Structure formats: C-alpha cells, structure tokens
C-alpha cells in the first residue's frame, strides 16, 4: 500500500483522470441499469406484492391477465367458489375533478378484506363504494390524497382515501377499487359478475378446462411486451457492461505494462515479486474502489433528484454486485499483465554492454 499510495499521490492528475474514468463508466452502468430495471419493475410490482403462488385465468387468455374474463359459472364449474380471492383488471384514464391532466392507470378491483389488498403508505382503506386507493405514482401529477377523480370520464366521482407504493401494472399506477367499480368500468354495469382472475395462495385442483392456473412468474412474463422489453434492455445493458468492463480491463493492462521498466529497476534492487505485485493490485483496488464509491454517491444523488415519473430503480444488492464486478474486472486487467511482471528482466534496468 505504501508504494501504491505514494505513486497515486505523486501522479495526482494521471490517477485522478483514471478515477474519473472509472467513476463515469461505473455511474453509466448504474444509471442505465437503474432505468432498465425500473422500467421492467413498473410492469409488475403490483403482481410482485401479491402473497400468492397461483393465479387462475381464462384458458382462452393465453396466460394474460389483461385478456382474461371469468364468468361466475366458470368459477362454480371449476370448484373455486370458496377458494382464493377474485380480482378484476381494466385500463382506465384518471382525471382529477377541476383539473385538466389525464393520467393512464390500471384499475384493480378487489375485496378490501382479501390478502391481495394493498399495503398503505398513507390514508386508510375505503369504507364506501366511491372510495379508492391509488399508487403514489399517480400523485406525481396534479392529483393528491383527498382529491376526487373520474375514471374513463365517469359521472361518478371517486375519492382517493389511501395511498400505496410500488403498485404498478403494465408500467402505469394501479387504482384499487372494489369489484363493483371494476365491473362498472369494464362491462358498463355492476350487474355483470365477471372477474379477470382468482388469486390463490397455493396451487389447487381445477375442474374442467375453461380455466387455467398459472404461476406469478408466468403471469408476469405474459404481460404484453414485458418479455420482449426485458430481453431487449437486458441485451443492451449486458453488451454495454461487457464493453465497459473490457475497456477497463484493457486500460488497467496498458497502465501496468507502461511501468514494466520501473518493475525492472525494483527487481534489480532486490525488491521481491510479492512487494511489486502487492503494490500493483493495491493501487488498482484503491483507484477502482474510489471510482465506484464516487459512482455510488452520484447514484444516491440521482435517486434524490430523479422525477418520480422516470422509471428509475436501484437497490443495494444490484449496486453492490455491479460495483464489485467493476472492481473485479479492473483487478483482472492488472492480472493479465501479471506474467509479464513476474518475468520482467532486471537486466533491462541495467542497460550497458
């Protein structure tokens, strides 16, 4: 560490630029990964929150919640009358009373006492038919708790009495209502007793073949566009990470090779490989750690200033894994030059005839 810190301190500009380079590339990885993960999550967080294993859908919906309709007769025929909890899903446009902004949302009609009722971050659960709970993503616009809203231009006004977090489906915030409101919105009448799905805590046996039960993962993968979107962003981010990591690795290799003559002098003086290699790796570790720590700080700052409507998400585990990979690849870049360092000829430092 003595040699490593002395060299960094002596060549402040050079190592400062290297730290800035690692900081920028690590931040780019964190930021773009955060956007891709955020967008992916926005499709599914409402489903992720269900403490459920299986979801029963119409067999004709191709495992897609948005395409599923289940009639009361199908529920009865499948023997599901007493099992799970029903839910309905439909797309809505939300508009607050007296305000102009229209916001896309997804309506989840549920029973308030069921196990898929949302956890509230503010307010209370509805007590009356025209009360709703909304995801806080909806509050980013002109809407706030206590406001009255219309759904798809409805004459009925619905009061926002509760707020929940991380409840998005198909990238838009979820508006939780009772099943009656869902039926009004989806079928134009609450006399139609259809639902979209039955959510089950555990797998069950279904009678007949009108209905099918799918896992949460399958349900998520059949959200329209989700799999293609995740695969596309995954490939883009993966390729970017690979290229950046290769660049950092090559960068570290070149940096090390440039110092071969210095290692020759050290070897001539009788300084062992252990000291030389230790100095090299502690230097790479210091420089890459500093760059990654700066990138993590910048990520924290990004989190603080990022508008809520931007689908940005990062967590400590993801950041830790990407940061650790960054440091590891930098060390690997140094390691590639290891054979050259170990074989460095001290005679090269001597010169002469």
Partner 1 sequence: MALIELHQVTKTYGQGHKAVQALKPTNFKLMPSEFLAITGPSGSGKTTLLTIIGHLQQASSGSIQVNGQDTSTYSTKQLTKLRFNEFGFILQASNLIPFLTVSDQFKLVDRLTTKGKLSQTPTALLDLLGIGDLKDKFPNQLSGGERQRVAIARALYNDPDIILADEPTASLDTSRALQTVGILAQVAHDLHRGVIMITHDTKLLGDTDGVYDMRDGQLTQIK
Burial class (CB in 10 A: 0-12, 13-18, 19+), 291: buried
Residue 260 binds partner 1, judged by CB under 8 A: no
Residue 60 binding partner 1, by CB under 8 A = no
The least distance separating partner 1 from the CB of residue 141, rounded to whole angstroms, comes to 57
User: Cβ(226)–Cβ(220) under 8 Å?
Assistant: yes
* 302 Cα distance to chain centroid: 15
The reply to whether 269 sits near partner 1 by the rule CB under 8 A is yes
Contact status: 352 vs partner 1 (CB under 8 A): yes
Contact region with partner 1 (CB under 8 A), list: 121-129, 189-197, 330-338, 341-349: 341-349
Q: Is 271 in the site for partner 1 (CB under 8 A)?
A: yes
Nearer to partner 1, 268 or 336 (CB): 268
Q: How far is the CB of 267 from partner 1 (least distance, A)?
A: 7
The residue range among 110-118, 128-136, 145-153, 345-353 that interacts with partner 1, by the rule CB under 8 A, is 345-353
- The window from 176-184, 244-252, 295-303, 342-350 that contacts partner 1 (CB under 8 A) reads 342-350
Closest CA to 19 of 298, 318, 317: 298
Q: Residue holding tokens 């229209």?
A: 102
Residue closest to 66 by CA, chosen among 86, 50, 90: 90
Spatial separation of the C-alpha atoms in residues 326 and 30, rounded to whole Å:
11
**Closest to 26 (Cα-Cα) out of 282, 233, 316, 324:** 324
Contact 219, 49 (CB under 8 A): no
Q: Which residue has the tokens 């090390």?
A: 256
> Taking the complex as a whole, how short is the minimal distance between the CB of residue 332 and partner 1, in angstroms?
24
Tell me if 325 contacts partner 1 by CB under 8 A.
no
Question: 4-23: which residues touch partner 1 (CB under 8 A)?
Answer: 6-7, 9-11
3-state secondary structure of 68: coil
Considering beta carbons, is residue 203 or 340 the nearer one to partner 1? 340
Could you give phi then psi for residue 111, rounded to 5 degrees?
Answer: -90, 130
Q: Should residue 186 be labelled a site residue for partner 1 when binding is judged by CB under 8 A?
A: no
Part in contact with partner 1 (CB under 8 A); list of ranges 2-10, 130-138, 148-156, 179-187? 2-10
Tokens 């089950």 — which residue?
Answer: 200
> Using an 8 Å Cβ cutoff, are 29 and 324 in contact?
no
| Residue 258 burial (10 A CB sphere; 0-12, 13-18, 19+) | exposed
Among 67, 120, 240, 268, binds partner 1 (CB under 8 A): 268
**Residues 136, 165: contact at Cβ < 8 Å?**
yes
Q: Stretches 158-166, 193-201, 272-280, 314-322: which one binds partner 1 (CB under 8 A)?
A: 272-280
Residue number, 265 or 332, with CB nearest to partner 1: 265
70 or 279, CB closer to partner 1?
A: 279
Instruction: Output 141 or 268, the one with its CB closest to partner 1.
Output: 268
What is the rounded CA–CA span in Å between residue 139 and residue 149? Answer: 12
134 binding partner 1? (CB under 8 A): no
- Say whether residue 262 binds partner 1 (CB under 8 A): yes
Examine residue 79 and tell whether it contacts partner 1 (CB under 8 A): no
Region of 100-108, 160-168, 266-274, 291-299 interacting with partner 1 (CB under 8 A): 266-274
Interaction between residue 51 and partner 1 (CB under 8 A): no
Q: Is residue 209 involved in binding partner 1 (CB under 8 A)?
A: no
**Contact in structure between 123 and 135 (CB atoms under 8 Å):** no
Could you tell me the smallest distance in angstroms from the CB atom of residue 282 to partner 1? 13
Q: What is the DSSP code string of 275-320?
A: HHHHHHHHHHHHHHHHHHHHHHHHHHHHHHHS-TTS-----HHHHH
Copy the structure tokens of residue 215: 């896992």
Q: Which residues bind partner 1 (CB under 8 A)?
A: 2-3, 6-7, 9-11, 262, 265-273, 275, 346-347, 349-353
């Amino acid at each position: 560490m003595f040699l490593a810190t002395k060299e960094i301190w002596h060549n402040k500009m050079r190592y400062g630029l290297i730290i800035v380079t690692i900081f920028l590339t690590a931040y780019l990885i964190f930021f773009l990964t955060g956007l891709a993960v955020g967008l992916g999550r926005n499709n599914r967080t409402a489903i992720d929150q269900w403490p459920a294993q299986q979801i029963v859908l119409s067999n004709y919906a191709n495992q897609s919640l948005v395409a599923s309709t289940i009639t009361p007769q199908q529920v009865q025929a499948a023997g599901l009358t007493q099992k799970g909890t029903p839910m309905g899903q439909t797309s809505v446009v939300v508009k607050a009373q007296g305000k102009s902004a229209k916001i896309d949302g997804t309506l989840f009609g549920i029973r308030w006492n069921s196990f898929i009722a949302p956890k509230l971050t503010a307010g209370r659960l509805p007590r009356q038919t025209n009360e709703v709970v909304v995801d806080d993503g909806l509050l980013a616009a002109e809407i706030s708790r206590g406001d009255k809203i219309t759904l798809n231009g409805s004459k009925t006004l619905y009061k926002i009495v509760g707020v929940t977090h991380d409840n998005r489906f198909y990238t838009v915030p979820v508006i939780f209502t009772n099943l009656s409101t869902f039926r009004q919105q989806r079928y134009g009448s609450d006399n139609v007793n259809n639902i979209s799905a039955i959510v089950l805590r555990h797998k069950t046996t279904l009678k007949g073949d009108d209905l099918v039960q799918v896992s949460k993962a399958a349900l998520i993968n059949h959200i329209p566009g989700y799999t293609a979107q995740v695969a596309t962003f995954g490939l883009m981010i993966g390729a970017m990470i690979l290229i950046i990591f290769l660049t950092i690795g090559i960068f570290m290799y070149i940096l090390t090779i440039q110092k071969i003559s210095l290692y020759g002098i050290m070897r001539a003086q009788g300084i062992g490989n252990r000291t030389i290699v230790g100095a090299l790796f502690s230097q790479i570790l210091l420089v890459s750690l500093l760059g990654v720590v700066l990138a993590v700080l910048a990520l924290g700052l990004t989190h603080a200033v990022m508008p809520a409507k931007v689908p940005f998400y990062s967590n400590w585990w993801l950041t830790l894994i990407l940061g650790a990979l960054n440091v590891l690849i930098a060390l690997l870049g140094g390691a590639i030059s290891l054979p050259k360092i170990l074989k460095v000829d001290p005679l090269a430092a001597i010169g002469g005839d």
